[in-house]
Structure 1
């Protein structure tokens, strides 16, 4: 059966979870429509989601639609939980972007639409809340065309606005002007259509226009706009018809090679790991032993599998999303979404079975790490989490590690010396959710220190260093030479080698490359180093040595451990010679304010270190864009209502990094500090004495 993986996306409170409930009810898979306010919706299943009335975790629910299985994925709308949207994008066949007819296009709406268009995900737009006072679909459509994309066409009319009697009727081919609007829109992407229409209008019948509308929507060239009310159900039938007609369903090959992508991880009642996988090809059955390829990202907390590596595991149970729930099944086929148990080492972004295409790219929020393409801005904030009860420190680490499995953009930094854990964040609401989740699900009460800004470091020049085994105080049986130099902004960390491939066993070369990535998490000032090229210039080792009775002698033979322990010393020596600059994250803001308040607002922006651009006039309002340090965005949000009498509208998103001015911020190190050779060697020796040197 064909399937359609459909994402429901919106700015917070635009009504997407209510729309999800209405779609499920219309499809006949639920008897009663849940309420966000009452906490009774199907997709907001977490206790915290029900209490707060917001979506925090992406949820999957399935329903049949005219012979197509629709896997509907409800995503969070609050920008603090953009990571949940991030991981879903790679499995979508299409999307419905929900816009409120009252509030219009909101900041997160713009971020989402830009991303959907960039990724060429076919997208319908649903103008919701026609039943609310202040609803204005005409104004909203103009707003969509001006601020999201001009390639839109209205598919439904609306009347009796502002109450439960609000209606939305689909336009038919005989509606005056509708066919002409379709021609105007579609001919912008099809010269032949325009030529045929100019030559003879009858050569372009309405049926051809509908077929071309579906084709161009499927290529993400145009975006049909529907309207209605998720609460009353007005216009939802037309939207359902549009989903079936205009968004492309897929039919994967169940007999092809197995390949699927993990886009969500959760824990079951017994703490077992459950992986949500979209199967792109083949069929996966219970008890199958499968290969799991790392999609990149951070090394797992236990260090079991390095980025780019692979593992194997046995699938012990499968659930497939059908008819509003997930049902136990013996297999999951191409095009479907399944929940898999038994893959204990699996992580978000991993590929099950064969890798189809390239899974490389920069990891979201982790400069220098490699994984799938980053769709949204990285988190720019960080805070230290501490357990209120000292006895809960171990439980806190375990809990945060599991949360990071479910949300790879929660970066963890554990400082063994200070017995502290820091987490990266998008905003203060995310902090509240983490705190409540730790208390509710793990029984760990925590406090947070002041939120700080995450900076990065970039090499200022070129530096090189090398150490030769058994010479000049090198206690490791390894020769390593490295050169580090600047690379293009946004390129992350690239590792190359000038040594011959056969000059070093592959496992030793891998050890150096992985350790380079790990070491660059903390540069000269403690921040992650990115946008650089690291080249291995020297290599040497002692071949495996054995005694007369063929007993391996570690004291005479090089091991991977020798290279892992020497590489940080060489790399940081090279980095010290190159020098680094520290950069702070900057947000690009867009302000819409009453014209008479510009003079009041500009001095306040200057005090926040914002750099405004030239304002543009829009009627009786000013549109003001500019750049502001990420650290000051929250202050601007707090002050804006007072500065603009509640009439200011702010959009803000990460845009770039810029060099820090003034004192360089330092970040406390959490490693053995290879910048101080004696301290580092003593720490390594203590560790080896306690654990024994690994190979």
Structure 2
């Protein structure tokens, strides 16, 4: 058997989960179709998903077609849960992007398609809901060409469009052959020659089909199929396209073990189950596996592999398959199993959350339980960005939007029995270095109370490059554990810059190092007061780094979204002042029929305000699309974020909080 790991992606309400249900029914995995409205679908298993009628967590189902097992991953469509989609993208062999024949290409559709193309994931486009009133064909194909990809071809024609009797049938005939040949000829010289010479009709149909499959698998072209998940129209053609045009997974079962964790669940007793895509090698029950980046290992106590419509217990899982592994207690979403997988399996594909809110337990006695519960949720979704303020006994989380906040609240109540409230949602800013700064503190030189020497230089780095730690001292100048302690503390300290916001991109170089070797009194055991420990370096590093940052200076940046706003032409004059008040920066405006299309940049903090005001201003006819674009310097006084560390900017208070035995050490200096 071959394996194809397939993602189903779409804008919310395009019919993605209904299509998943239809595919499972058509391949005889389920006997009866479930309903999103009734909460009876196979992949929406959470109570919240059934209640709201939306997908919140990625789910895996499988079906067989001939000698291919298709692991179908149903992903959320709502933008608040884009992190679930991000994790799924890294494990896919191919994708089906679902577009509604009525609503057409929407904001999330465009974002998903851009990402699929950037990652070179072979993609089919399925136009759903051809049975709904208002369904379109020609105009929708034009929109796909303009907004998604010009390299597309309609594989289906429709009849009875917009009625319950709508049908989808394969396109054939000279016009279709000519269109297909012209599209494929862009990447095939032999077909180009035949097309130019007027011999396109002489090209065998089998040759065209094989070249279509080859170019689809390379992500060069995107076949478009029409149908209805509700009536089943076009389902067989879609299944045929999935198995014939998309690539199956490479299967090097004897290679080095390599896999990626894209989902983690906890059972009733708190035990973890990791969903893993295997890229190479074979994992067996009782194998001890390395995972993550810290040298952690664990023994596999159970394996289930997706086969024939369900997860079935197996003794082993091999390359290409998706499995549920049990027994790896410390495993987290995003961890690599064995050797790292493809770059896109661990990469960041979408923007980080730009909103933050403080979570407050309604009952003071639930504070400890709340932290435990949120920690478990962060294991399943690392982008929640759990942030604990020990000084104020507050916990904040990072979010994409208000719907996600409501889901977190409901999950805490239903699963953990904790009632919570949220304070006002605020925007997450970042800080960037303005210049270069350096600082150092030396062992046995006042005012340094620690048995350590640390010198650091902080320099700006390009946006998106991350934090890079370099050495300007010899690696053997002191024990590696001390160098590692400095690096880890640097990364931790950079989560709160001079104004309390994270510094995501910079280069920090260790310029000076020194330590007191292990010592002891005569006939006595090791004496911490005479010898350096990793704690000395962890306590000193924040003071040195903050001094370097002060010298370099930082600038607060706010998140900006690209936006596209379409409004009726008669309200254009009323919409512009609203955009100005909300600090939008329109770049272009154009006439589109009876509408105006405005494109530009909008602060992330203003997106929700535009969404709230737009319906009243446009009588419900305005359409806003927005997606994260970049961070830009903030004008005016920079907002600050309350510090949750020991505040190394205030040396006196910091030392009072972290130094416990300075006096004892001074006696031996």
TM-score by length of 2: 0.97
| Change in 2 beyond 3 A, CA 1:162/1:457 | same
Q: In the alignment, does 2:344 pair up with 1:389? A: no
Q: Secondary structure at the match of 2:384?
A: coil
| Change in 2 beyond 3 A, CA 1:21/1:358 | closer
Could you report, residue by residue, the CA deviation over 1:54-109 in whole angstroms, capped at 9, with x for unpaired residues? 00000001111121110000000000000000111100000000000000001100
Greater mean deviation of Cα atoms: 159-168 or 67-76? 159-168
- 1:311 maps to 296
CA–CA distance in structure 1, aligned partners of residues 661 and 205 of structure 2 = 75
CA contact 1:483–1:535 (8 Å) conserved in 2: yes
CA contact 2:456–2:548 (8 Å) conserved in 1: yes
Q: In the alignment, does 2:447 pair up with 1:448? A: no
CA drift at 1:374: 1.5
Q: Secondary structure at the match of 2:408?
A: helix
The correspondence for 1:530, drawn from 496, 504, 508, is: 504
CA drift at 1:356: 4.6
CA contact 1:317–1:342 (8 Å) conserved in 2: yes
The correspondence for 2:487, drawn from 506, 513, 517, is: 513
CA–CA distance in structure 1, aligned partners of residues 342 and 535 of structure 2 = 33
Q: Secondary structure at the match of 2:304?
A: strand
Listed as ranges, the gaps of 5+ residues in structure 1 are: 295-308, 360-370, 690-695
CA–CA distance in structure 2, aligned partners of residues 177 and 549 of structure 1 = 95
CA contact 1:66–1:244 (8 Å) conserved in 2: no
- 2:211 maps to 212
- Residue pairs, 1:149-168, within 5 angstroms: 149-168=149-168
- Residue pairs, 1:233-632, within 5 angstroms: 233-294=232-293, 309-356=294-341, 372-549=346-523, 551-632=525-606
CA drift at 1:357: 5.7
CA contact 2:305–2:324 (8 Å) conserved in 1: yes
- 2:98 maps to 98
CA contact 1:462–1:485 (8 Å) conserved in 2: yes
CA contact 1:127–1:137 (8 Å) conserved in 2: no
Q: Secondary structure at the match of 1:402?
A: helix
CA contact 1:285–1:331 (8 Å) conserved in 2: yes
CA–CA distance in structure 2, aligned partners of residues 687 and 147 of structure 1 = 64
- 2:137 maps to 137
- 2:666 maps to none
CA–CA distance in structure 1, aligned partners of residues 333 and 662 of structure 2 = 33
CA drift at 1:269: 1.6
Q: In the alignment, does 2:626 pair up with 1:652? A: yes
CA–CA distance in structure 2, aligned partners of residues 510 and 538 of structure 1 = 14
CA contact 1:459–1:575 (8 Å) conserved in 2: yes
Number of residue pairs the alignment of both structures matches: 662
Listed as ranges, the gaps of 5+ residues in structure 2 are: 664-669
Q: In the alignment, does 2:31 pair up with 1:31? A: yes
CA–CA distance in structure 2, aligned partners of residues 688 and 327 of structure 1 = 59
- 2:646 maps to 672
CA contact 1:544–1:552 (8 Å) conserved in 2: yes
CA–CA distance in structure 2, aligned partners of residues 66 and 251 of structure 1 = 18
CA–CA distance in structure 1, aligned partners of residues 336 and 352 of structure 2 = 23
- What CA RMSD, in Å, does the superposition of the two structures yield over aligned residues? 1.5
CA–CA distance in structure 2, aligned partners of residues 166 and 614 of structure 1 = 39
CA–CA distance in structure 2, aligned partners of residues 414 and 33 of structure 1 = 45
- 1:229 maps to 228
- 1:363 maps to none
CA–CA distance in structure 1, aligned partners of residues 595 and 495 of structure 2 = 45
- 1:194 maps to 192
Could you report, residue by residue, the CA deviation over 1:506-549 in whole angstroms, capped at 9, with x for unpaired residues? 11111111110000100111101132111111011122224444
CA–CA distance in structure 2, aligned partners of residues 279 and 488 of structure 1 = 33
CA–CA distance in structure 1, aligned partners of residues 71 and 90 of structure 2 = 14
Could you report, residue by residue, the CA deviation over 1:121-161 in whole angstroms, capped at 9, with x for unpaired residues? 00000000011111112221111111111110000110112
Q: In the alignment, does 2:19 pair up with 1:19? A: yes
CA drift at 1:552: 2.2
